[in-house]
Amino acid sequence: MNKRKKLTEIQAAFEQEEHDETTSTSETTPAEIEEVKDDSLSASLQLPKKSNRKIRFTLDLEKPLDDRLTKAANKLNRSKAELVRFSLERLLDELESEWKN
């Protein structure tokens, strides 16, 4: 009576989840874009999530930073991973914009 899942079952579930993520992209409607008129973080987080293929990335945070991230994620009803991805994307957009000039 082994209750552990077989590797093939885990892999099939993972592949199905990955397929679901790539096929169920949410489009931002013009009304939603119009609703978010400023470029604030809070306003930007109200837009629908982008769904792209993801890779695993490990990050070590100091406890105080993790506490702040957890608090923000809870307050915004988002995952910590979503907030990190969002923040990293904004940082890279800003850096790339500076590098062009």
Q: How far apart are CA 73 and CA 95, in angstroms?
A: 24
Question: For residue range 33-45, what is the model confidence (pLDDT) as tens digits?
Answer: 444 455 666 666 6
Question: For the chain, which residues make up each domain, given as ranges?
Answer: 58-101
Which among 87, 93, 81, 80 is positioned nearest to 42, based on CA atoms?
87
- Distance from CA of residue 68 to its chain's centroid? 17
Identify residue 86 by its one-letter amino acid code.
F
Q: How far apart are CA 74 and CA 76, in angstroms?
A: 5
In Å, what is the CA distance from 61 to each residue of 27, 66, 90? 33, 6, 19
**What is the value of pTM for the model shown?**
0.52
Question: For residue range 60-84, what is the model confidence (pLDDT) as tens digits?
Answer: 999 999 999 999 999 999 999 999 9
